[in-house]
Structure 1
């Protein structure tokens, strides 16, 4: 693995740690981008990477995105991320999760973790036995906490509606065609919310059976995962893994709006300008998908004060996502600057960069 400071995505990160526990087989990277606004908060991803260098790039990009996400959401939290390098069989053991919890504890509160791809609420409960610096734990009725996925989905749903209003001049979603890539906790939640509004849906997932079941439930169309980006629609909503908006991907898009929850959708910075040049309205991912971290942060901050997180506060903060997006788009329209650049500048100002 090359030195992380030579990576193109190294952005003066405050701390990057390679964690190796031979006894449990744990190999992980914990990247803290910024603690300017508070402890670095961001989930843990459990994933099989074909090359450890790819895992490092993922950790660097994701942690920077969390700094921007938390700042733009108005949270007193910095940005961090962890990736656990899974083997090809995605072997996960209690010993491995415990060792990861010890690694979080060793950071002394500078990093607060929660669920991400491949990590469950039960995993976070196991981590909480080793450290208090964890969120996304089961909650009491009416309190913030638990799986952040539904909160992420809610924010994306509201953001899609805002994008349709801004770009298409539509105040309702009836008949609006949305192509949803990824039908897991987040993408599936987005699809269900849109279906209630009468949106026309086309779904795809690498797990074909999962997409098929959701399509049957919602009366939606389904296409193979490799075809979803080329579907002619009103909104393309990426809710799987990132870096799909590259030269080839952008050329395939047949929609005036891209708005979804996947992290780091732009493969490289120049791809935001490429979307803008095609007249495609882009919802910066770390703004539209902030619902989950809002829940995580409210839960964690409340627990530190010996109380339950206020679910109404979570909902109120998520409801502000459309306004933030509209501010970005209006500035973009006025200045001719792509929305991703407008958002980045706002976030960088907030974290003192």
Structure 2
């Protein structure tokens, strides 16, 4: 591979910036995919990558996904993402966060950052001391802001219910078996709502203690992380990291529905066809998991209150229905249909 432009996931990105701050030890990437409809918005994640190239691929894929997500959610925002390359303990220091904030500020508002994997509301506060272009800050009662995870989770729950109705003819999750990958904020919120509806839940997480705690809370069964996607279930819900649906894993699925909040679930575009050919209903990830960025957008743009955020998130099932309708009408897989819709919205048809 000769250059950045040779990465398969490079998709006409407007900017890919490598950030190094020797004094703090910060090494990071900021990728802006599109500012066609507004400033590029997307979270910053802290992760340990085995190779720098893996971080580049992650930033490219995630920023493109944010362009599509924000466009499909009808937000006046483009798509961007940042990754901080961490050690194996995924450690971060106040100095590193400050250096990252300064890097965001130097972009002059082209990129708006927020919370993602490995980051917290407290970290966003630290970053906000160096830049105006940040969201996910603490909010007083009745105000919009804070951790976007619960909002993402609410949208995923609504999308899972829409998928259950479409594929299984069920108006409720009562009695259905959900296999949930992950036990973090998004997966936890989904599990709690599904349990309240009367669903039977199996779950897994690479953090066994976290999985056990969530299972005890919602009455779920804990399974091994490498088994959860392949359980005989009504709905498989990936809510961890991406690229988990590939040729091998799709061939082993035993559920008629895949609907979850993880980003970039399909390892390749061809995997959209593979899941479609198996007759499995797929909820495109950046459509179903848009609740968090809807909250971030409302906070940053100051164009609504909590009720507005909820109403905007509750449009997610309707968007999924339109995608599935077009998929049936054209015979094309749901992921490809969603991608085409999003590309039209950002001027890249």
- Give the TM bin, normalised by the shorter chain: over 0.9
Distance 1:66 1:194 in 2: 27
Of 321, 335, 352, the match for 2:347: 352
Q: Select which of 331, 336, 342 maps to 1:336.
A: 331
* Deviation digits for residues 105-138 of structure 1 (CA, Å, limit 9, x no counterpart): 0000000000000011100000000001000000
Offset of residue 2 of structure 1: 5.8
Name the CA distance, whole Å, in 1 between partners of 2:2 and 2:290. 31
- Please list, as runs of the form range in 1=range in 2, the aligned pairs for 1:21-170 lying within 5 A after superposition: 21-170=21-170
1:313 paired residue number? 308
Corresponding residue of 1:327: 322
- How much does 1:5 deviate? 1.1
CA RMSD of aligned residues (A): 0.9
Cα distance between partner residues in 2 of 1:41 and 1:4: 22
Counterpart CA distance in 2 for 1:103 and 1:57 is: 20
Q: Does 1:238 align with 2:215?
A: no
Whether contact under 8 Å (1:265, 1:285) holds in the other structure is: yes
> Does the 8 Å contact 1:155/1:321 carry over to 2?
yes
Query: Residues 350 and 46 of structure 1: is their aligned pair in 2 closer, same or farther, counting only changes over 3 Å?
Result: same
SS at match of 1:225: coil
Match of 2:244, SS? Answer: coil
Instruction: Report the 3-state secondary structure (helix = DSSP H, G, I; strand = E; otherwise coil) of the residue aligned with 1:87.
Output: coil
Q: How big is the shift at 1:104?
A: 0.2
Residue number in structure 1 paired with 2:287 = 287
| Structure 1 unaligned residues grouped into runs of 5+ | none
Of stretches 213-222 and 144-153 in structure 1, the one that deviates more from structure 2 is 213-222
* Cα deviation code 1:116-165 (max 9, x no counterpart): 00011100000000001000000110111000000000000000000000
Q: Can you list the C-alpha shifts for 1:232-269, whole angstroms capped at 9, x where unaligned? A: 00000000000000111111211000000000000000
Whether the 8 Å contact between 1:239 and 1:262 is mirrored in structure 2 is yes
Cα separation, 2, equivalents of 1:248 and 1:2: 30
- Name the SS for the 1:172 alignment partner: coil
* Structure 2 portions without partners, runs of 5+: none
The ranges of structure 1 where at least 4 consecutive aligned residues each deviate by more than 4 angstroms after the TM superposition are none
Conservation of the 8 A alpha-carbon contact between 1:2 and 1:53: no
Q: Taking structure 1 as reference, are residues 80 and 2 closer, same or farther at Cα in structure 2, changes over 3 Å only? A: farther
Tell me the SS of whatever aligns to 1:179. Answer: strand
Residues 33-82 of structure 1 deviation map (CA, whole Å, 9 limit, x = unaligned):
00000000000010000000000000000000000000000000000000
Q: Distance in 1 between matches of 2:43 and 2:245?
A: 23
